[in-house]
Amino acid sequence: MKIALVTEILTQYGGGERVLDAFLEIWPAAPIYTLVYDPAKMSQFYSGRDIRPSFIQKLPGMPSHYKWALPLMPKAAESFDFSEFDVVLSNSSAYVKGVITRPPTVHISYVLTPTRYLWSDRDEYLKNAPVPGWLRPFMPPVLSWLKRWDYKAAARADVMIGDSKTVAERIHHYYGRRADGAIFPPVDTKRFTPAKKVGDYWFVVSRQEPYKRTDLAIAAANKLGLPLIVAGGGTRVRELESLAGPTIKFVGRVSDEELAKLYAEAIGLIFPQEEDAGITPLESMAAGRPVIAYGRGGARETVIPGLTGEFFDVQTVDSLAATLSKFDPSRYDSAKIRAHAETFDTKVFQAKIQKVVEEAYTKILNSKHEIRDKHK
């Protein structure tokens, strides 16, 4: 079987790249097609890989200013030639679910989310996008055109898998097609180990952006006088620091080793945002620590009340504070919490993805045999 991997852009390392790395462990010789590749930032992760960027890579100002090429990305996704491959496996949060394949090549799209700024977050994107004022009048028609393309492009994949049940539901809602399943993203549980002694602080880790709602955790900790450690960089760090009381500490970006220690020694993780999937709750669980999460989105698929954590039902300071004030960490068994996290381990993810790919490839072989038999 000859397989190609496709990912949106390779300009910074994040959740999509962890998915790509899990694919590469299964198919290490597979070429990586991408809209834009920034070797200055990403060669440390993908040195020696066969990376095939689109024509956008050759435009002036690329790859640093790739966001200015937004209207070209549909055409770039459609420009790849996959005729030499049996299977194309895309890892999509925007455009690469719309790559074009022709029989007998089969396209399997693993969808991290329907394109946020075209669907669920369109109004917020129009309001906050960092573009010059003279460009703003052009944004609504461009997004409307991209939205029409996105809807049509979503019908192209032969198999479409959501990265959570939440995303599978959104695929149906926005694209009018039913997802062919849901496979939660990989979690490298071996990076985390439960601590022998737990500290006295709560923990929050994320990119500090508005939708992450770290402000709720800070306000709740202020209200209850709880120790809270906040990890992660982002555009909102200074604003959040100005809201923090004396029991709150910011540690910025931390190493993998420091992160594992912070998870393991915390009372628990506070997860105040709504995410399509959400990996940090599972990392906390892999370290044996429970999670208090907002009860929407992917967290509902990983947090089990009474076993691995609790939910707060309304995305407000009062609702979170009420849940924190009632929380008794002695009720939770770190070994059972970690055992639950292990059901989402990278190896589990890879086995599920590999099964999907092999079943699709088997269909190709069967169809080829049928054609051959007809011509005998």
pLDDT in tens, 299-332: 999 999 999 999 999 999 999 999 999 999 999 9
Cα distance between residue 331 and residue 343, in whole Å: 21
| Residue 34 pLDDT exceeds 80 | yes
pLDDT in tens, 248-257: 999 999 999 9
CATH code where residue 108 lies: 3.40.50
Whether 117 and 227 share a structural domain: no
Whether 35 and 115 share a structural domain: yes
Cα distance between residue 89 and residue 260, in whole Å: 31
| Residue 123 pLDDT exceeds 90 | no
CATH code where residue 256 lies: 3.40.50.2000
Cα distance between residue 181 and residue 159, in whole Å: 9
**Which pLDDT score is estimated for 376?**
52
Whether 214 and 324 share a structural domain: yes
Whether 158 and 221 share a structural domain: no
DSSP string covering 45-109, please? HHTT--EEE-GGGGSTTTTTTGGGGGGGHHHHHHT---TT-SEEEEEESSSGGG----TT-EEEE
Per the model's pLDDT, the better-predicted residue between 59 and 366 turns out to be 59
Contact present, 67 and 42 (Cβ < 8 Å): no
pLDDT in tens, 210-239: 889 999 999 999 999 999 999 999 889 999
Whether 224 and 135 share a structural domain: no
Contact present, 113 and 94 (Cβ < 8 Å): no
Whether 55 and 175 share a structural domain: yes
| Residue 364 pLDDT exceeds 80 | no
Strand-pairing partners, residue 309, are 291, 305
Whether 182 and 219 share a structural domain: no
Please state the domain count of the chain: 2
Cα distance between residue 106 and residue 348, in whole Å: 23
133: confidence class by pLDDT, cuts 50, 70, 90? confident
The residue whose two tokens read 């912070």 is 262
Whether 238 and 357 share a structural domain: no
Cα distance between residue 370 and residue 100, in whole Å: 24
Per the model's pLDDT, the better-predicted residue between 374 and 240 turns out to be 240
Q: Strand, coil or helix: what is 314?
A: coil
pTM here is 0.89
Among candidate residues 223, 222, 214, the one with its CA nearest the CA of residue 280:
214
Q: Strand, coil or helix: what is 120?
A: coil
Q: Which amino acid is at 47?
A: S
pLDDT in tens, 351-360: 999 999 999 8
Whether 200 and 171 share a structural domain: no
Whether 43 and 100 share a structural domain: yes
375: confidence class by pLDDT, cuts 50, 70, 90? very low
Residues 6+ apart with CB under 8 A from 188: 18, 345, 346
Structure-derived torsion over alpha carbons of residues 305, 306, 307, 311, reported in degrees to the nearest 10: 30
208: number of Cβ within 10 Å: 23
Cα distance between residue 154 and residue 168, in whole Å: 13
Whether 197 and 233 share a structural domain: yes
Whether 9 and 151 share a structural domain: yes
The boundaries of the domain holding residue 289 are 192-342
Cα distance between residue 12 and residue 328, in whole Å: 39
The residue whose two tokens read 């076993």 is 307
How does the average pLDDT of the chain come out, rounded?
94
